[in-house]
Structure 1
Amino acid sequence: MKNEKGFTLIEMLIVLLVISVLMIITIPNLTKNNGTIRDKGCEALVITAQAQAEAYSIENGAYPSNLSDLVDGQYLKQTTCPDGGVLGYDSDSGEVSAP
């Protein structure tokens, strides 16, 4: 017989088994933490929107009347959280809140 190099069927099955075990371990962890990821995304958006409202007030001398002013002025790209909730806004104090 020739000295051929390559993977045997057993080696390939072992690799598939290892990949399958890794997927069985990681996929449930990802789906379990999906809600936490969305909550953190909303918190980050609130902090960003609050900072942009402050920047708007510094540049224009007053807080924006609503969040759409921040979007129109290209201070923000969106006012909705990853979970679909819309940010709240108080124009008197410039306070941005989570839904």
Structure 2
Amino acid sequence: MRRKKNGFTLIEMLIMLIIISALLLLILPNVMQHTESAQGKGCEAQRQMIENQVMAYQMDDGNVPTMEQLIARGYLKVGQNQCADQREIIISTNGNVSIK
């Protein structure tokens, strides 16, 4: 009587590992590219949010705020002047908000 096979052989496991590794090598560059793209879009959204807060401050106070004034008056929280990729968002003297 033949014995029933109860699992994978070492060769079968190695072949599966090689196939999975090859697929990961093909997929990984696309995932990294999309991650960088998402971070850029998130930083742009944060810049727009700060721009809106600058306009709200201007309507309330009548002048262009600095980042410190926005934080001190509660328009922004501490740390919201940086993107997730550590780029800083700055406010020029005429009220333009840009990413440094």
Normalised by the length of structure 2, the TM-score is 0.64
Unaligned runs of 5+ in 1: none
Partner of 1:66: 66
Question: 2: distance between equivalents of 1:12 and 1:62?
Answer: 70
Question: 2: distance between equivalents of 1:62 and 1:8?
Answer: 76
**Taking structure 1 as reference, are residues 41 and 3 closer, same or farther at Cα in structure 2, changes over 3 Å only?**
same
The two structures, once aligned, show a CA RMSD in angstroms of 3.0
Shift of 1:5: 2.1
Question: 2: distance between equivalents of 1:5 and 1:63?
Answer: 77
Unaligned runs of 5+ in 2: none
**Taking structure 1 as reference, are residues 63 and 30 closer, same or farther at Cα in structure 2, changes over 3 Å only?**
farther
The number of residue pairs the alignment matches comes to 97
Normalised by the length of structure 1, the TM-score is 0.64
Question: 1: distance between equivalents of 2:64 and 2:9?
Answer: 67
Contact 2:53 2:75 in 1 (8 A): no
